[in-house]
Structure 1
Amino acid sequence: MEDVITEAAGPSRFLEEDLNIFTTPSPPLPSPFLIFPYTQQPQPLKPSLLIVALSPSSIALFHRLRTASPAASPAASLLLPELSLSLPDHAAQILLLSPSALLAAIPFPVPGSRAHAVAKALLDGRICPDSVLILDSLESRNFRGKLSSDEAVAFKLDSTAERKRSGGEKLLPDLEYFPSGSVVDGLGAAILARCQVMNVRASLCVSWPQFDASVVSLIKGLLQRRVLQGFDFDLSDEDVFKFGRSKDRVLHSELYI
């Protein structure tokens, strides 16, 4: 006869997610926040354009401005409480590129669960741009169709306020729209959604490959032709070339959603 006291219990009929309802939930993470220099006036910043660099290629394009350039003065920093400041690149710098343009360079990956909180902190009322340009990378698994292994490409998604603009007034008039059926997620999508809710002009540019010298040149050309005409990136062709070729050039995608 089976000993009901000493025999091992049978498998649970509950699913793993059902068992979690009996455990105490983890305390919520503190919200991300902005820190302004002590010399900064208390009134909100109101630039004509806010550029948000998320992709490795756009971060590389603005690398010298973030590290040692006197041309870009710091306007604020965006911090995530869960990231240790003892490690490099754990603070997102917000730099003043010109009297009318700000750059928010976010060099660390932001989990999807924190994307909307970061987007809200970035556009919380203390930074009130007229328009927002987001530079993100394209993941092959989210793209419907094939991606060439030898060609750098970029697409865009616009908020409603940006779509209503005429062709000559758009932030990225030369780019085609992201193909129907493809998806964008993460922080870039969260910032675009935040701009949509706030009725702010915004354009999300996604590029492929994620990190490559040709993509750096492509993004640089897009910015200089339209939103940052005449801006000196302090980036020579040799600097672009040393970024090298990315391993994701050999990947192709035929994902259909």
Structure 2
Amino acid sequence: MDDVITDIPPPSRFLLEDLNNFTPSPPPLPSPFLVFSSADSKKSFSPSLFIIAMSSPSLHFLHHLSSKTLTGTLVLPEIPFSGNTIEPSLQDKSCNIYTLNDTDKSIMIALVQFPVTSERSHSVAKLLVGEKIIPQRVLILDSVQSRNFRGRLSPDETIAFKLETLLERKDSDALIKGLDYFPSGSVIDGLAAALLSRCQLKNIKATLGVSWPDLGVPVMKLIRSILVKDVLTGVNYSTEGDYEVEYLQLSRRKGRTDSELYT
């Protein structure tokens, strides 16, 4: 007679993966899309340079460029509009696309102010580059993630690196000069990686610049220096207000609530 206490119990009638069959799969998310003014809705754009900003210092500096015109918006359906202001604000969860008003160069700017999950990165990258907007050159600005960096990052150290597509690296006139390449063994992921891969696939000259830390006036000055000296050379631009003071205040506020950023 079997010992019901010590004998191995019979297998369950259902495997764990079988139990998931009884749970309805969530409906697929709607695709992201671009919205332009009625005058530009059927128009394609071919800027000489397309700057896509995601890091805090690059967003803050480019937002305060006064010589820009709102051209369109990228809509990610899972990001609610509630809480956004009527006029573009750094507090909004949005992705506005601007044209920099300059007579000599055609420059577009995208300010990505909401998080994009890994699952959505490629669809967003495809939408931004190579369909409605076909740029000659792309600059992506993001922050270094400490979890992906091989080595120790000190919050008191301000650094920046770059990665380039093959076509950009072959160009003797590099868009960003004086930056080391991102160290081997470190990783770039998310939307920044998807955008760089998209540019490589479409044979577009592209540079990804990443900086550390994401907060503080020193990193703001570093990003501003890179943009002014290398990227916006010869472009007439102006900034609104004292953005460095604003950024210092923002860094202090976020530093108190996001201190784990530097751990």
TM-score calculated relative to the size of structure 1: 0.83
Maintained 8 Å contact 1:212/1:244:
yes
Which residue matches 2:114?
Answer: 108
Which residue matches 2:232?
Answer: 228
Shift of 1:125: 1.6
Given the superposition, is the C-alpha separation of residues 131 and 59 from structure 1 closer, same or farther in structure 2, using an over 3 Å criterion?
same
Q: Could you list the per-position Cα deviations for residues 52-102 of structure 1 after superposition, in whole angstroms to 9, with x for gaps in the alignment?
A: 01112211112334xxx4x21111110011222223223310001134111
Matched residues in 2 for 1:178 and 1:101: separation?
Answer: 26
Which residue matches 2:82?
Answer: 86
Given the superposition, is the C-alpha separation of residues 174 and 249 from structure 1 closer, same or farther in structure 2, using an over 3 Å criterion?
farther
Shift of 1:39: 2.4
Q: Is the partner of 1:62 in helix, strand or coil? A: helix
Maintained 8 Å contact 2:44/2:134:
yes
Pick from 192, 198, 214: which aligns with 2:196? 192
Which residue matches 2:43?
Answer: 43
Which residue matches 2:71?
Answer: 75
* Aligned-pair Cα RMSD in Å: 2.7
Shift of 1:234: 3.3
Given the superposition, is the C-alpha separation of residues 176 and 12 from structure 1 closer, same or farther in structure 2, using an over 3 Å criterion?
farther
Which residue matches 2:245?
Answer: 238
Q: Which runs of 5+ in 1 are unaligned?
A: 4-8, 253-257
Pick from 169, 189, 193: which aligns with 1:163? 169
Which residue matches 2:222?
Answer: 218
Q: Which AA in structure 2 matches 1:109?
A: P
Maintained 8 Å contact 1:217/1:240:
no
Maintained 8 Å contact 1:75/1:95:
yes
Q: Which AA in structure 1 matches 2:58?
A: S
Maintained 8 Å contact 1:149/1:249:
no
Q: Which runs of 5+ in 2 are unaligned?
A: 5-9, 85-91
The alignment status of 1:182 with 2:165, answered yes or no, reads no
Q: Report which stretch shifted further, 240-249 or 55-64.
A: 240-249
Q: Could you list the per-position Cα deviations for residues 25-71 of structure 1 after superposition, in whole angstroms to 9, with x for gaps in the alignment?
A: 32221111101111226231110000001112211112334xxx4x2
The alignment status of 1:98 with 2:105, answered yes or no, reads no
Maintained 8 Å contact 1:53/1:135:
yes
Q: Report which stretch shifted further, 19-28 or 99-108.
A: 19-28
